[in-house]
A and B are shown apart, each in its own frame.
Chain A
Amino acid sequence: MSGTLIDFCKQLEPTQLKLPSALLQTATDGVEFQHHFPTTRDEAWKYTRLGRVASLHVSALKFNQTAQPLPSSDYIDVIFEQERWHCSEPTEGLHISFAGALDSTDWNACSLDGHVQHINALTAQGGVSIRVDAHVSLSKPIRIIHRIQGENKALILHHQLVLGSNSNTQLEVFFEGDSEGTYANVLFDFFIGPGADLHTDMLQQTKGTHYGFHTQRIYQQKDSTFALQTLSANTHFTRNEIEVFSQEEGTHTQLYGAFIGRETNHIDNHTYVHHMAPNCTSDENYKGVLSDKATGVFNGKVKVYQDAQKINAYQSNKNILLSDQATINAKPELEIYADDVKCSHGSTTGQLDQQALFFLRARGISEAKATDMLIKGFMAEIVGAVKSSHIQEALHTLLD
């Protein structure tokens, strides 16, 4: 029988971060109150079983405060690998430090929700703190690379990015490596200042029996723009939780995602956009392609608060199932309390377009190649929104 949440935390190490005591108390209470891992009777975990996660025996990867330097390149790199972290020399207006070096007051604006984040708060061994000064447009993209290797390891990190007013940042995040029985719980807090613009492309392509929990909590101030492309490719187990708090007027949020699953892969995408202020827009577009016995989950929620008038919220999810045994559970949700808003949502799931397949084959293209072309075409909208050339290339290879 699998262990409790407390047992799971006990096999890990107490957090190295100085979270405020109130936040730690929330996490402790959460873990004690909930006691067991959620089951499929819990709404948020209806389609994702955690039995295997609960019975994982893992030891925490620990990190030094000081980063190993990296040679200068076209990127500002931050790399977490085994028990080391590496960091490039920051450019002007950019400040990078170990998250463990932050004071408890630096974490005051954070919030936590659910057992994944509670575990993270109690056991995080590090993370990176990135600050971009006001009015700074970074000349190089920042890359955060998580390389997960070995057996029975746990990578638990809490990153914090604070983007000054009217700053402009491009971020690329990678999860890669080949491992067995590993667990990752990586939490990002994004604080996006007034008029700031953050574009993030994230690629998850871990190999082996890796259990990845990825949480992004985004706090958007007035007139800020946040775009996130989440791409999950052939991962054994992935749970993405994205929660956006549009706190002030004039924000734009773009959440795009592509997930590709095969064999017995399980990829779960949960998104939640809170429109708390008027005159904002959000655009969400997720596409999934599943083959073999892979399962996918899309649960996208948009909540428009009572005073948040003139909201334009668009949500779309489309899936292609390439085999009879592949499964998708899709649930688009809208909760609207304002009366002057434009919201749309929809979800479709089907097979590959047989007419299109016939057409391509009738022009001499093999069935396998025609299938690839149609899948690439299906994913083109998402791939087109990716700015990272590395991720674009990786996707082209994955889709071939």
Chain B
Amino acid sequence: MLKITDLHVSINGTEILKGLTLEIKAGEVHAIMGPNGAGKSTLASVLAGKEDYEVTSGTITFEDQDLLEMSIEERAREGVFLAFQYPVEIPGVSNVNFLKTAINEIREHKGLPALSAKDFLTLVKEKSALVALDASLASRAVNEGFSGGEKKRNEIFQMAMLEPKLAVLDETDSGLDIDALRIVAGGVNALKSKENATLVITHYQRLLDYIIPDFVHVLYDGKIVKTGGKELALELEEKGYDWIKTAE
């Protein structure tokens, strides 16, 4: 589904990713762990198409298409979803209205008719229940006045509504208490299928107790330096990232 080959990325002339290679197949859950500054969030931003980053070399293909050639919105319409580390507040734009626009633009891209108001509301009810998001939050302005936990649950709610092929969760666990973490992880697990894939980016092993990865990669200094199964996360938790640094 996703194939990243020898990816080099800079921001303001500083190289952050220095030859990252990664392949994700449908049905898989991958976790990327690593110390602060390793390039985890840069990878998430580059996948979503954030324009501040410059890809200096390497390739990314998504479903055999050149992802780097696509605009931000094309990537989303093709099925790439980024759950933001810091969800944006948008005063005056209602959550429901924005999601309806998003869903219908994605459907139009796929040659499907627009969703009726009734079907849309049924979907909102069903999917907000998945992450225990209060229905009143769905109709409020996007993330405005939401608590940290509500913002993250709102991200997963959007993911549930948009049904992406590849979900990239950028530090979705940061700032969450254990109950919120369980709800968020429960939502992600419920959306898992043979057709889609998940890339979990996290600093801590904690989230991986709830979202069980098939592969764990350690990102250090812009490269994946180690890949293993879920037990690698536990090893990292125990030994810390210094263990990787010294192993280099």
Residue ranges of A at the interface with B (Cβ–Cβ < 8 Å): 353, 355-356, 358-367, 369-370, 373-374, 376-381
**Cβ-closest 10 pairs across A and B:** A377-B92, A380-B92, A364-B76, A377-B93, A361-B72, A363-B102, A359-B88, A364-B106, A361-B73, A364-B77
- Chain A: minimal CB distance from B42 (Å): 14
The residue from B77, B93, B162 contacting A376, defined by CB atoms under 8 A apart: B93
Q: Is the CB of A364 within 8 A of B82?
A: no
Closest to B50 in A: A358
Known pairs A356-B88, A369-B101; A362 contacts B48 (CB<8 A): yes
The residue from B50, B77, B93 contacting A374, defined by CB atoms under 8 A apart: B93
A contact face: mostly helix, strand, loop, or mixed: helix
- Chain A: minimal CB distance from B65 (Å): 16
> What are the interface flags for B54-65 relative to A under an 8 Å C-beta threshold, 1 for contact and 0 otherwise?
000000000000
B1 at the A interface (CB under 8 A): no
Separation of A377 and B92 alpha carbons in the complex (Å) = 4
Separation of A126 and B92 alpha carbons in the complex (Å) = 41
Separation of A360 and B93 alpha carbons in the complex (Å) = 11
Separation of A356 and B106 alpha carbons in the complex (Å) = 19
Q: Is the CB of A376 within 8 A of B76?
A: no
Separation of A265 and B51 alpha carbons in the complex (Å) = 32
Q: Is the CB of A380 within 8 A of B91?
A: yes
The residue from B49, B97, B99, B105 contacting A362, defined by CB atoms under 8 A apart: B49
Q: Is the CB of B98 within 8 A of A360?
A: yes
Closest to A372 in B: B101
> What are the interface flags for B34-62 relative to A under an 8 Å C-beta threshold, 1 for contact and 0 otherwise?
00000000000000111100000000000
Q: Is the CB of A377 within 8 A of B141?
A: yes
Q: Is the CB of A364 within 8 A of B90?
A: no
Separation of A369 and B97 alpha carbons in the complex (Å) = 12
- Chain B: minimal CB distance from A50 (Å): 35
Q: Is the CB of B102 within 8 A of A364?
A: yes
B128 at the A interface (CB under 8 A): no
- Chain A: minimal CB distance from B90 (Å): 5
The residue from B84, B91, B102 contacting A365, defined by CB atoms under 8 A apart: B102
Residues in A with CB closer than 8 Å to B84 are: 359, 362
Separation of A367 and B99 alpha carbons in the complex (Å) = 15
Q: Is the CB of A377 within 8 A of B91?
A: yes
Residues in A with CB closer than 8 Å to B51 are: 358
Q: Is the CB of A379 within 8 A of B92?
A: yes
